[in-house]
Amino acid sequence: MKKKMKAAIFASVASVILVGAALLRKLQRRRRRLPRAPFVNHAAEREEYINSILHGSETYCVNQIRMTPIAFHRLCHILTEGEHVRPTIHMPVTEQVFIFLHIIGHNVRFRVMGSRIYRSTETVHRYFKVVLRGVLKLYRTLIRLRSEDTPQEIRNSRRFYPYFKDCVGAIDGTHVRASVPLEIQGRFRGRKDGTTQNVLAAISFDLKFTYVLAGWEGSAHDSRVLNDAFARPGGFSIPNGKYYLGDAGYGNKNGILSPYRSVRYHLKEFSDHPPENEKELFNLRHSSLRTTIERGFGVLKKRFRVLDAEPFWSFETQVKVVLACCVVHNHIMGVEPHDHIMEAAMNEVESSDPHQETQSRRESIEDSRLWNAKRDEICQAMWSDYIRSGE
């Protein structure tokens, strides 16, 4: 009896095993029929994507990385030659710079950039910081006053020469979007909507930045930022006898030539009414020449969309990014400035300046009598020639 029971148990177990084996074979056959995802060679796909931009049409390249292929490869060469950015076993310099330019050009998030080139978010972030540090090391080389000679834009114009022969550029502040902790947001709310940082910049008439100071709160007055720029060790300096054109907010002081107050100034105010006296003529030509700073800011923000978007990194990095954009801008202006971004930005910039700010009593006291006399001298000479020639 016991033997029969054992035999029956063995038979049942055997049948279960056989059924299980049959089901397993059937499942395996079914799995073999399932289509597999195609294999993707990430390295090859990445290389093809980057090469399609760098070796495609010039317009497409400028749209993607905000500069021509020649300017891109020149920038890579400068960064490599100075050992500011080095190739690694994982990523060449061209890809590192490509990532950086694409992010600041389009305000692309790290994870989005990573998905486009099959890199992790951490990798994109790490190499972005590497190139950012490398570009900032070019600041002293690229952002400086190149020559103290009279600019061609002045020398070749009867409206400006010889009256502004000692002028080397224009100076003004612009507001760039800023993301700061809630407890200090009040200090960063200025004339613009939202929180911003007030960026001071001096620019020459060939649209190259000669000085940039970023990081001030949006509520800070332009003259206060300028005073800080002068006071900083190795900060803003103006060659003896030379000056920059500034608006009324800076006051007329050593190295800064401002327009007359309570006198027509904006270009649109003269559209139907030519100047009627020497001060109006001076303000008209001062305004015409100072639009250089507006064009410079316009081109910069048109090329680097990160400057007009809500930042997604720390404030320290936000300040560095502003400086880096100015460095890259100067590099482009020195290699191949006349691309379609430049043309579009120049068409969009309005000819009139922002609303003039009034100075405080303390700031007006600081006006230099010497520079008031210099302005009057230029003004009288300009008006005398205007009356004599009729133009």
194: containing domain: 147-389
Burial class (CB in 10 A: 0-12, 13-18, 19+), 33: exposed
How many angstroms separate the CA atoms of 354 and 133, rounded? Answer: 33
Residues 97, 164 share a domain: no
Q: Is residue 244 part of a domain?
A: yes
Termini Cα distance of the chain = 131
Instruction: Provide the 3-class DSSP secondary structure of residue 315.
Output: helix
Number of domains in the chain: 2
The lowest-confidence range among 16-20, 89-93, 355-359, 386-390 is: 355-359
Residue 11 within any structural domain of the chain: no
Same domain, 90 and 63: yes
Asked if residue 73 and residue 221 are part of one domain, the reply reads: no
How many CB atoms neighbour CB 113 within 10 A? 21
The residue ranking higher by pLDDT, 118 or 30, is 118
Q: Which two tokens stand for residue 308?
A: 């007009």
| Residue where one domain finishes, among candidates 137, 165, 200 | 137
Last residue of a domain, one of 111, 137, 163: 137
Q: What is the pLDDT of residues 275-322, one digit of tens each?
A: 778 888 888 888 889 999 999 999 999 999 999 888 888 999 999 999
Res 31 pLDDT > 80: no
- State residue 8's pLDDT score: 59
Q: Are residues 197 and 48 in the same domain?
A: no
In a domain, 377, yes or no: yes
If asked whether residues 212 and 263 sit together in one domain, one would say yes
**83 half-sphere exposure, CB direction, 13 A CA radius:** 0
In a shared domain, residues 337 and 371: yes
Of 114, 137, 160, the residue at which a domain comes to its end is: 137
Note whether residue 14 is domain-resident.
no
Q: What backbone phi and psi angles, to 5 degrees, belong to 239?
A: -55, 145
Q: What is the mean pLDDT of residues 105-114?
A: 94
pLDDT at residue 77 greater than cutoff 70:
yes
104 and 76 in one domain?
yes
- Among 163, 177, 253, 244, which residue's Cα sits nearest to residue 210? 244
Type of residue found at 95: E
What pLDDT, on a 0 to 100 scale, did the predictor assign at position 36? Answer: 60
Of 190 and 142, the structure prediction assigns the larger pLDDT to 142
Note whether 228 and 364 are same-domain residues.
yes
CB 295 within 8 A of CB 346: yes
Please check whether residues 168 and 97 belong to one and the same domain.
no
CA–CA separation, 129 and 119 (whole Å): 15
Mean pLDDT (whole number) for 230-245: 92
Mean pLDDT for the stretch of residues 77-102: 96
> What is the mean predicted confidence (pLDDT) over 71-83?
96
Q: What is the pLDDT of residues 341-369, one digit of tens each?
A: 888 877 776 544 443 333 334 444 444 67
